[in-house]
Structure formats: C-alpha cells, structure tokens
Amino acid sequence: MALEQGYGTADGPYVETSRSGYDLLNDPLLNKGTGFTDPEREVLELHGLLPPTIATLDEQVARRLQAFRQLPNDYARYVFLRGLQDTNEVLFYALLVRHLEEMLPIVYTPTVGLGCQRFSQSFRKPRGLFLSMPHKDLIQRILSHAHFDDVEAIVVTDGERILGLGDQGAGGMGIPIGKLSLYTGCGGLHPATTLPVVLDVGTDNPECLSDPLYIGWRHERVRGRAYDDFIEAFVTAVADRWPHILLQWEDFARDNATRLLERYRDRLCTFNDDVQGTAVVAAGTLLAAVNVTGVPMREQRIAVLGAGGAGSGISALLLQAMMEDGLSEAEARRRFFLVDRDGLLVEGMPDLMPFQQPFVQPREAVADWALEREGRIGLGDVVRNAQPSVLIGVSGQPGAFSEGVIRAMAAAVKRPVIFPLSNPTSRTEATPSDLMVWTEGRAVVGAGSPFPPVLKNGAYVRVDQTNNSYVFPGIGLGAIAVQARRISDGMLMAAARALADVSPARLNPDANLLPPVSELRDVSLRVAQAVALQARKEGLTEPMDAGDIYQAIRNKMWTPVYRPYRRGG
C-alpha cells in the first residue's frame, strides 16, 4: 500500500517505491499516469509505456472532467468514476474534491443505489474485501495480509437493506466503496487507510439469485445463530488485527442494525451510520432550523415516519437535545410521534422492538383523537391531532408525505420543518418543490438526496441536502485522530451541535440551514474537532490539549496531490 512506500506520513515530501513499469502503473495508489516526470519515467522504467506528453494534475483533472460531462447519463458517469478510482486514486480524489457538488450525487446518493443494483454487471476489478459465509474460518488469515497494515477505517455492510432498495446481496459493496470515498474526499483520510467490506451471507433477492452474472454467494440469506456467529468471527478478527480501528456499520436490516450496534459499541470504536449518522445530521439540521422558526427544542413536536433504526435513532438524539433544553425525559418523550407500517407506536402494540419502546404514546393520550380509520392511527391522523412542528421521513416510501398531510400540517404551524430523508431520490417521501407549493413557501425543508433549487419568495434557493455526508466523515476523522476507544452518545451530540454551529442560518434566518456541499471538507474538520474534544472530555482517549488534538486531525487530512517519486529497495 502507499503508506508502506517510505514517505512516512500521508502528506510526506516524496514517495519511495520499489515498483516499476506496468507493476507501478497498475497500482491505483501509486499510478500518476501521464503525470510522471521525465526523470521519474527514466528511473521507474516507464519510457514507452506512457505517451510522451507530461501532464500536470490540473491538466489531467480538466481532461477527466470534460470526459465526465460528455457521458450520456448518471450511471455512465458512476461507472466512469469507479474506473478512474481503480486506475489513479490521486486523480480521482482531486477531481472529486475540486468538484464535490457535481460529483457527490454520482459517487454517493442517489446514483450509488443504481450502482449497487448493477454491481455485478459492471464489476471489473476487486476493491475491498468480499467475506463470504463459506470462508468464515479464513477471515483472520485474509485480514492478516500485509496489504492491510495501514487500515484505520472500515465500512461494512451485509447488503440486506441498501438505501430504500432492499436486499442487493454482494452488490451492496457499492455502499462501503462510496462511503469511504467520502471519508477521503470530505474527511481527508488517506485512501490507503480505508477498507470497504461486504459480509456475503447470501441474498433473498430472486433477481440476484437468478442472474447468471451475479458475483455473490448463490445462497438464500443466512440468519439466526449462524449469522451471529459469522458477525462475531468478523468483529473478533477486526479487533485483534487493528486495536484502534474505526468500524462503521452500513445498510443492515432493521432487525440487525440496532442489536449489532448495542452488542459491539463498547468492544471497539464503532457506530452505525444509518442509525446514528442519520440522527446526527437530522439533529444538527433541526438545531439550525431553530434559528429560522424561532421555536426552541423544548417546544418542538416531532412526527417521524419510519420507526426503524434510523427513525428511532433520530428520535433518541433529539430527545437528548430536548432534555438539554430543559425538559424532563418523560416530558420530552410525549413530544414524539413515531409512525411505522402499523401506524403510530402506542402502548400495547404487538411486536414492538426494544429501540421503539421509549417512544410509544400512552393509549389515553390518543383516546380522543378523531381518526380516518378506526383501529389504526396513520400519519394523517398524527398531523391533524398532534399538530407536529417537525415532520421527518425515513420510511423509503415515495410520496408518503401527501399534499393533504402537508397542507394539514401547514394549517396548524407557521413554519413547518419537513425533512424527507429517504434516498435514493426515487424513494423520497416528497419533493422539496411540492413541499414549498403546499405550504405557500413557508416550509423549512431538508432532503436526503440532492434536488434542484426551489422557488421561495420570488427567487430560486438551494435545497439543503440533509445527508449523512455532512457528519460521518468528521465523526470518523475525529475518532481516528485521537484513537478514541468508542463512539459515545455525547460525541454524536457534539457532532450535531458542531453542524448547527456552521449553519448559515445561525447569522441570517433567511439563509440555508446547511453550508453548501462544496464546503464539506471544512465542515468535516469542525465536526472532527468537536468529536475529538468530547472524547477527551469523557476520558475515551489519551489526555491531549486542544492544540495537539487540532494538529492530530490536520495530520490525518490527506490532500490529493502528486509528489515526486524515488526508486527504493
């Protein structure tokens, strides 16, 4: 890997490598393509293997950007960028960082969903690790390879609940690859320190199983004890191999996501981005919205459509924020209305999950509600009777925020805060443009995926992308920089407040809730500092002063530039 090549730090003055010729050009972490200078080509045996023109990184970025923009659709652009990443990582990240707003929807949501669905068809070169159930006993040996010595961050999925698209099996690898691209592009982690992993325990997707091109293990999805033993083998091997690793869980199904997080969150530095990252970005954006609506957290009434791990995780963090704003826990709980597939969570409802229990409403609290349909309390009933000031969607149900529901909300609330967070775009609960029309322009909107500007007060304004990319790169960066032993609830709240602190609306209520995507690298730095300082406060890292913490974070932030090469042993 690149960090083994002799330059000590990610931003060292030179690269020393023993590789040459095609061996060098075929390593995406070392390849500079036409960027190799004439002296480098001589010493590294590259003459004749490259065209004679020597290009700067700026020129290469311009060439790739032109080719990117000429492609016919977003999927073609996704495949193009994945190919570039597997060929020349410095060039890939230089293009990503310099054009983040344009590239983010391709590298990540919404296009990454299509990338997962078509992963087998577009598979060209392995990246990361495919750990399959038949090879459970080989996990420790696989991880022990020297190629992985420098790994500091792992994103892992089992592919069962990819965005709102369901079970994609081994195709779910597109998510860890995309997430770690943002860890580098937004958080600055050196790509050599990141490792995407898919735990291939089979799939229940009949399209995958019947596809002759499917690259995964052709077996129905393994569950129960065998599944848990496989996860345990993986986590044990990871913790033994890398004592200070950051392990991020991604796109596990509802029944597994929260219980695996609870099982392992005290054994190593780990968090679930769907549960906790979504909670942090939602909480940070809502804290920013307070500057716009003037309604303090303790007075908010929050309805959440989708009471799985993400919805309950958002509610748990917002509950903490309400308590910090003066409410008792009992008072705060009564201000949450979580709606799942069977309607509003109420006491006595069968099959409630443990993480849902804190947010059930007492039967007597809803006894006198006027309902559309006897026996089931739907979202419309909640909006008309509870009159929520905040509506959050993590249901994956397109169009679930209907015109009737939104108009009813807007009739009772002066500045309704509405976050349709489900992605990809095809799964969003409502489009921002519809929300603005249905609320006469009064809604404060944040969406999980990118949308075009909306008309507001006679002018078009940017839609806030309330996406986890605002927070997870900074959470991971901060934890890695100070080698935090775990990710605490306090660190997550610190990340949410750091996001709120960089809100443009903090100084101007007419401004956006979030900075533009182009500033994600600066946002990640601020979030990382807050997370690292909170880790120190809670005794989850070695004692460090604030200046050392800041420097440790900066030292981890790699910049994609070409450095001179030397031939080494």
> How far from the centroid of its chain's Cα atoms is residue 88's Cα?
24
Alpha-helical regions (H) of 376-519:
379-386, 403-412, 432-438, 472-481, 489-501
414 is catalytic: no
- Number of Cβ within 10 Å of residue 368's Cβ equals 7
Residue 420, preceding bond cis, omega within 30 degrees? no
Dist. CA 298–CA 73, nearest whole Å: 46
Check the annotation: does 464 bind a ligand: no
Q: Which residues pair with 218 in a beta bridge?
A: none
- Tell me which of 7, 108, 214, 562 is the catalytic residue: 108
Contact assessment for residue 179 and residue 502, using Cβ atoms and an 8 Å cutoff: no
- Rg, C-alpha atoms of the chain: 24
CA distances to 157, 168, 372, 427 from 161, in Å = 9, 7, 31, 13
CA-to-CA distance for 361 and 347, rounded, in angstroms?
6
CA separation for the pair 431, 445 (Å, rounded)? 10
Backbone angles phi, psi at 289, to 5 degrees: -65, -25
The secondary element (H helix, E strand) that includes residue 224 is helix 224-241
Buried b (16+ CB within 10 A) or exposed e, 335-366: bbbbbbeebbbbeeeeebbebbebbbbeeeeb
161 labelled as ligand-binding? Answer: yes
| Distance (Å, whole) CA 532 – CA 530 | 6
Is 456 among the catalytic positions? no
Measured on CA atoms in the order 507, 508, 514, 517, is the torsion positive or negative?
negative
Of the candidates 294, 282, 319, 280, the residue with the CA atom closest to the CA atom of residue 505: 294
Write the burial class of residue 141 (CB in 10 Å: 0-12 exposed, 13-18 middle, 19+ buried): exposed
141 annotated to a ligand binding site: no
Work out whether strand 444-447 and strand 464-465 pair parallel, antiparallel, or are unpaired: parallel
Cβ atoms within 10 Å, residue 178: 27
**Centroid of chain to Cα 365:** 36
Q: What's the one-letter identity of residue 465?
A: Q
Counting runs of H as helices and runs of E as strands, what totals does the chain give?
Answer: 23, 16
- Closest by CA to 418, choosing from 408, 406, 403, 433, is 406
Cβ neighbour number for residue 145 with a 10 Å cutoff = 10
Which residue is catalytic, options 179, 556, 562, 565? Answer: 179
Q: How many CB atoms lie within 10 A of CB 407?
A: 14
Residue with tokens 């826990």: 329
Q: Per the annotation, does 274 bind a ligand?
A: yes
Report whether 467 belongs to an annotated binding site. Answer: yes
Instruction: Give bridge partners of residue 465 from the DSSP assignment.
Output: 447
Report whether 423 belongs to an annotated binding site. Answer: yes
Length of the chain: 569
Residue list for the binding site for a divalent metal cation: 250-251, 274
Residue list for the binding site for (S)-malate: 161, 423, 467
**Active-site amino acid positions:** 108, 179
Residue list for the binding site: 161, 250-251, 274, 423, 467
